[in-house]
Amino acid sequence: MASSPSAAHNGGLQTEASDSINEVRGWRRFLLWLAALLVRTWGRTLRFEADAETLRRLTFSAEPAAIVLWHNRLFLSAEIFRRYRTKRHVYGLVSASKDGAWLAAFYRMVGIQPVRGSSSNFGREAARVLIEKMGEGHDIGITPDGPRGPLYSVEPGVLVVTRRRNAPMVLLGAEFGRAKRLRSWDKFYVPWPFTRIKMRCTLLQPKDGAGEKLSADDVRAALQAINPDPADA
């Protein structure tokens, strides 16, 4: 997924390996394959629930869209894309670093197409590549508070791609039946196998009914509305 939203402040974004891009090989790749197999199998046990209107928004395919979810719901992303986003590939930005190599390889194994580059700040190169991918007819994935937070924040740069492409945002929400919350900065959710996931979804156009451009605060408020957390979270 594109973090913050899949962001970069300098060049070097690529969708293929090169000498400047770190890649995972050998036994490490085999370990990732096992992890990806576990995640795919785990995801298939989850019991997603969605009413007719939510399902319509989840499967929106009239044009390429930016798929947006909070970083702590990322465990669900591959299964959501597999079940509901079947018309297009989904691209997300991943760092060109050694750490990013693990995530990029894992993404490929679970069905997400990585774009390699810096992921610290949303900048021109990240926007350019993701705009190109949308122009080719693909969806892009965005975690607006990733990769380092703060939790439930949305930077204005999140809107760069959708404004340039005049593209809609499909905002994803999930309420967990039973899940473990990790002690990470984002309080990451790991749902128990076979648990129920109540899906919510909001479709945002790049401009509102009055013709005004969406703001980062608009996106944050819409995401918060469809992602309830337990009172003790």
Report CA 134 to chain centroid distance, whole Å. 15
pLDDT bin (cut points 50, 70, 90) of residue 226 is: very high
Q: 3-state class of 203 per DSSP?
A: strand
Position 199 pLDDT exceeds 90: yes
Write down the pLDDT at residue 23: 66
Tell me the fold of 2-8+22-226: Glycerol-3-phosphate (1)-acyltransferase (3.40.1130)
Helix (H) or strand (E) holding 52: helix 52-58
Position 179 pLDDT exceeds 50: yes
The pLDDT tens digits for 4-56 are 443 333 333 344 434 445 666 677 778 878 888 899 999 999 999 999 999 99
Write down the pLDDT at residue 6: 39
Report CA 107 to chain centroid distance, whole Å. 11
Phi, psi of 181 (to 5 degrees): -105, 120
The pLDDT tens digits for 109-165 are 788 888 776 544 445 676 788 889 999 999 998 889 977 889 999 988 778 888 889
| Whether the Cβ atoms of residue 122 and residue 160 lie closer than 8 Å to each other | yes
Distance CA 150, CA 210 (A): 31
Look-up of token digits 């156009």:
205
| Whether the Cβ atoms of residue 181 and residue 32 lie closer than 8 Å to each other | no
